[in-house]
Amino acid sequence: MKLILVRHGETQWNRSNRFQGQNDIPLNRRGLVQAGQTARALAQNPCRAVYSSPLIRTMQVAEVISQAVDRPVSKVDGLKELDLGDLEGVSGDEMRDGWRQVYDAWRENPADVSMPNGESLAQLQERAWQAFLNVEASHQDEDTLILVSHNFAIRTIVCKLLGVPLENFHKMTLGLSSICAIDSGQWGRRLVTYNSTGHLSARYK
């Protein structure tokens, strides 16, 4: 089985460097182009099913992929992004000035931080990994599955797969509209591709 994890493309909050959790922010024009390029790349191989976080920016990507691979989209709540609580829409500078203790802790050890009135990375990892397992368990070994999700959600799944502690979370990066691929079979689960953006034209990377 191959499970392909796709991060959504650019939104205006991404462009403005604002923290983007579960607020429903749509893709901007650049993000829509990225979605099209991603869909064309994924359409080159057969796909059994498409799953997506229900947030609008991921659903926009999933729907373009759905048309390209001729499969319907199934919404999975567990694939949502981290609930940032009071930090939704906040810039890094605003976080540093208004939530200094949270800012310092997030930089020093993100595994120890719970977002004010939101989630921790551990909570995100637990639900995202369970969503991954549920999708995996509902298909056959020969299937290829596409899961459209978010930056932090995908990174916590990869951390779980590789046994990387969440305190090392900041040592990973994940580009907009990037692709990760995981093989699952008789030898267990293996990360085959991480943060691939080769399907994007140079202008949209």
Indicate the SS3 state at residue 202. Answer: helix
Q: Looking at residue 187, what is its pLDDT?
A: 87
Burial 10-48 (b: 16+ CB within 10 A, else e): bbebbeeebbbbbbebebbebbebbbbbbbebbeeeebe
Alpha-carbon gap, residue 175 to 56, rounded angstroms: 19
CATH architecture of 2-83+119-204: 3-Layer(aba) Sandwich (3.40)
Sign for the pseudo-dihedral over CA of 43, 191, 130, 86? negative
- Mean pLDDT, the chain, as a whole number? 97
Using alpha carbons, select from 125, 133, 171 the residue that is nearest to residue 51.
133
Count of Cβ atoms closer than 10 Å to residue 141 Cβ: 9
Sign for the pseudo-dihedral over CA of 45, 181, 89, 76? positive
Active site residues: 8, 81
Q: Which two tokens stand for residue 150?
A: 């978010």
User: Does 145 score more than 90 pLDDT?
Assistant: yes
Q: What is the DSSP letter of 11?
A: B
Q: Looking at residue 104, what is its pLDDT?
A: 96
Q: Looking at residue 165, what is its pLDDT?
A: 98
Secondary structure (DSSP) of 93-151: HHHHHH-HHHHHHHHH-GGG-B-TTS-BHHHHHHHHHHHHHHHHHTS-TT-EEEEEE-H
Q: Looking at residue 60, what is its pLDDT?
A: 98
pTM, to two decimals: 0.97
Alpha-carbon gap, residue 54 to 77, rounded angstroms: 6
Q: Looking at residue 186, what is its pLDDT?
A: 85
For tokens 């607020």, what's the residue? Answer: 23
Count of Cβ atoms closer than 10 Å to residue 123 Cβ: 15
Query: 159-188: per-residue pLDDT in tens?
Result: 999 999 999 999 999 999 999 999 999 889
Question: Domain limits of the chain?
Answer: 2-83+119-204
Query: 44-100: per-residue pLDDT in tens?
Result: 989 999 999 999 999 999 999 999 999 999 999 999 999 999 999 999 999 999 999
